[in-house]
């Protein structure tokens, strides 16, 4: 559907440009941070923060891939890419602490984190399902089906909006805890902040693209649905 409509790409161009810049900044900050030594590896820093927070039962596991680090609330486990897991660098401890921040959010029942977990199904199935509903409504002249598709995609946007404070809070926790536990000094904290701030822009870009895509769908199909009702 989008592939044949230049209007879509025109509308989301700002998000695409921001996303490309954010990805470049992440890789640049990550490589710079990986060259700055830290007293602990990412795995050791994660373990220290978890234990300090009383989360002794949360495992820290190594996963393949680059920048594949994540926290899995289903298994209550922190997963670190090989480079982050093994390397004693400021980038590694910063990323590891960020993922541990999510574990702390889960343990403390941080409200936006709980809401994000509830909205995960909308984020997973919402994009494809909404497009199928909208296309089906357009093909068979069913305005109500288009409306349902727009509502479903609105759930995707809601997930992205909820995700922003979750990610920002995890980074804030990471920076604070690394300083409090003296894993990084004042100069090291600056490097960690640069790495985590760069990563934050990728979430902003994803959110902006979702919002602009929803605006496109309303512009392209919302008016179509209304005109058929008149």
Out of 62, 66, 99, 180, pick the active-site residue.
99
Contact indicator for 53, 104 with CB cutoff of 8 Å: yes
Q: Residue 99 catalytic?
A: yes
Going by C-alpha positions, the residue among 156, 148, 160, 157 that lies closest to residue 123 is 156
Three-state DSSP at 108 gives: coil
Q: What is the dihedral of CA 198, 201, 206, 208, to 10 degrees?
A: -170
Distances 195 to 29, 58, 89, 94, 162 between C-alpha atoms, Å: 5, 24, 12, 7, 22
Provide the token pair at 62: 């190594």
Active site residues: 99
């Amino acid at each position: 559907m989008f592939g044949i409509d230049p209007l879509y790409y025109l509308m989301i161009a700002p998000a695409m440009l921001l996303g490309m810049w954010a990805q470049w900044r992440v890789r640049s900050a990550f490589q710079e941070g990986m060259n700055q030594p830290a007293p602990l590896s990412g795995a050791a820093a994660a373990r220290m923060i978890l234990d300090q927070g009383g989360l002794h039962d949360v495992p820290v596991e190594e996963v393949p891939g680059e920048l594949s680090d994540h926290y899995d609330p289903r298994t209550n486990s922190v997963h670190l890419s090989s480079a982050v897991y093994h390397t004693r660098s400021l980038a590694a401890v910063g990323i590891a602490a960020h993922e541990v921040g999510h574990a702390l959010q889960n343990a403390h029942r941080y409200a936006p984190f709980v809401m994000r977990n509830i909205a995960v199904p909308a984020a997973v199935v919402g994009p494809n399902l909404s497009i199928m509903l909208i296309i089906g409504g357009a093909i068979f002249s069913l305005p109500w089906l288009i409306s349902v598709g727009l509502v479903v995609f609105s759930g995707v946007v809601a997930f992205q909006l909820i995700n922003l404070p979750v990610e920002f809070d995890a980074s804030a926790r990471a920076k604070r805890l690394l300083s409090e536990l003296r894993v990084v000094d004042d100069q090291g904290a600056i490097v960690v902040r640069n790495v985590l701030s760069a990563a934050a822009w990728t979430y902003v870009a994803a959110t902006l693209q979702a919002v602009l895509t929803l605006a496109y769908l309303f512009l392209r199909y919302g008016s179509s649905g209304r005109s058929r009702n008149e």
